Amino acid sequence: MSVAWRLAATCSVWLMLATFASAQGDAPVASRCLAIAQSAPASVPVAYIPAQSGMVRPGAAGSVTIRFVGHSTFLITSPEGVTIATDYSGYAGAGVVPRVVTMNRAHSSHYTDHVDPTIEHVLRGWNPEGGPAKHNISVGDVIIRNVTTDMRGMGGTVPDGNSIFIFEMAQLCIGHLGHLHHVLAPEDLGWIGKLDIVMAPVDGSYTMDQGAMLETLKVLKARLVLPMHYFGQATLGRFLARLGEEFEVEISRSSEIEVSVVTLPQSPKLLVLPGY
């Protein structure tokens, strides 16, 4: 990333934080992912967990469990047991009622209007009243926020039609790209911040071109990539063939992984989790 691009991203972060706080009526929940992205580079031992004031939440240490339910739905469980279902269309696994669900509106497979009333937080990636959706909440040991991106629609571009949801827990920054339709702009990258784990749509048609998605992943520099939204092994295989030497590839036999700051891969890795 060029110096000018990085500067533009940094300025955009602070402007958007101020705008968000004004829109919500109070200060946003502090984001460790944004704080790390804007700090000076440093060498940190893999087993060392920093305890910087205001950046590490109580109970943040531990492991996160991620289960691929299918399509673009993952069930994420924090160390304290907070359950989150991404792109929730009504199913998060047999007998599972998550505490938090996120949605996107590209297709009915990414949202539902019929939500179990016992679900505590329903976070839609679009604003039914118009304008961008704005989420920045704390649930147990988790911070959840979103970054909106534009989406293609029947009548052209739909501004702020998609949301990238970011989950901060156990000192990990986890991003779900949703139904991303375009390359991320500097201000998008600045607002997203540092990501350790990315859930990325790799279908190459309904979302964005596979080559563009690969370039997006290279810019995001997450150490663990979980592919989703690929409609079969042939499409997934075409994406894997594009990866080259930048990414290690592993095909898991299990739909579920457990990850922590200590077990996170040291270099970029794409892990394929079989869906239910």
Output the average pLDDT for the chain: 83
User: Which among 46, 42, 49, 37 is positioned nearest to 1, based on CA atoms?
Assistant: 37
What is the pLDDT at residue 5?
Answer: 43
Tokens in use for 183? 């390359």
Question: Alpha helix locations (H) across the chain?
Answer: 3-24, 32-38, 186-192, 210-220, 233-242
Domain ranges, residue 255 = 3-36+60-272
Q: What is the pLDDT along the chain (276 residues), one digit of tens a residue?
A: 443 444 444 444 444 444 444 333 344 577 878 877 665 444 333 333 343 333 444 444 699 999 999 999 999 999 999 999 999 999 999 999 999 999 998 777 888 999 999 999 999 999 988 899 999 999 999 999 999 998 877 677 788 889 999 999 999 999 999 989 899 999 999 999 999 999 999 987 888 899 999 999 999 999 999 999 998 899 999 999 999 888 999 999 999 999 999 999 999 999 999 975
Domain at 90, CATH number:
3.60.15.10
Is residue 65 in some structural domain?
yes
What is the pLDDT at residue 276?
Answer: 59
Is residue 200 in some structural domain?
yes
Is residue 41 in some structural domain?
no
Enter the pTM of the model: 0.82
Is residue 42 in some structural domain?
no
pLDDT one-digit tens code per residue, 210-235: 999 999 999 999 999 999 999 889 99
Is residue 54 in some structural domain?
no
Cβ 199 vs Cβ 226: under 8 Å: yes
Tokens in use for 145? 């926020």
Total domains in the fold of the chain = 1
Is residue 45 in some structural domain?
no
CA distance 143 to 135: 10
